[in-house]
């Protein structure tokens, strides 16, 4: 349902949630999240442009969350990478299918429900529900990287 860009971005954001205000390097996140580092670097730049994370240069630098994990929803991340939208092409009426707009209406309702759920789930919610383990990827010894 989601692209690799969305999945990898969610992994990176969850990792940043776990380490609080300590910056993580692209390399550390790439290794832990099993994400190609050059691709992750591009994704992180997009998240930074959107104001979800900030970068710190130099020794001890890396990326950190731009605001608290409670203020960042899954919808915020997904919107940056791949906005949820339907193909806008109108279905054609055929003799066997006389109500093409019924399916379109149901798809729109489903998409709206997904958006609403993603808006309600914050990175902090994921952190709390993880019970010491990070969803989506391993975070073993992240702070020591």
The pLDDT value recorded for residue 141 is 44
Burial class (CB within 10 angstroms; exposed 0-12, middle 13-18, buried 19+) of 127: middle
The pLDDT value recorded for residue 144 is 40
41-92 per-position pLDDT tens digit = 999 999 999 999 999 988 888 999 999 999 999 999 999 998 766 555 555 5
pLDDT band at 93 (very low <50, low <70, confident <90, very high): low
Tokens describing residue 1: 């349902």
Global pTM value? 0.76
Q: Examine the pLDDT at 111 and tell me if it is beyond 80.
A: yes
> In whole angstroms, how far apart are CA 134 and each of 45, 81, 119, 123, 129?
23, 21, 20, 11, 9
* Of residues 80, 10, 83, the one with CA closest to residue 50: 80
List, in order of start, the domains of the chain with CATH numbers: 4-84+123-129 (1.10.10.10)
The pLDDT value recorded for residue 80 is 93
The pLDDT value recorded for residue 136 is 53
């Amino acid at each position: 349902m989601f692209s690799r860009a969305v999945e990898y971005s969610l992994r990176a954001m969850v990792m940043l949630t776990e380490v609080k205000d300590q910056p993580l390097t692209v390399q550390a996140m790439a290794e832990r999240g099993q994400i190609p580092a050059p691709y992750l670097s591009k994704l992180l730049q997009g998240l930074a442009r959107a104001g979800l994370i900030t970068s710190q240069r130099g020794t001890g630098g890396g990326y950190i969350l731009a605001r608290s994990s409670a203020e960042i929803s899954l919808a915020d991340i997904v919107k940056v990478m791949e906005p949820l939208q339907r193909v806008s092409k109108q279905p054609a009426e055929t003799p066997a299918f006389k109500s093409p707009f019924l399916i379109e209406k149901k798809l729109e309702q489903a998409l709206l429900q997904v958006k609403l759920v993603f808006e309600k789930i914050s990175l902090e919610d994921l952190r709390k529900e993880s019970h010491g383990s990070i969803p989506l990827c391993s975070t073993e010894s992240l702070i020591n990287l």
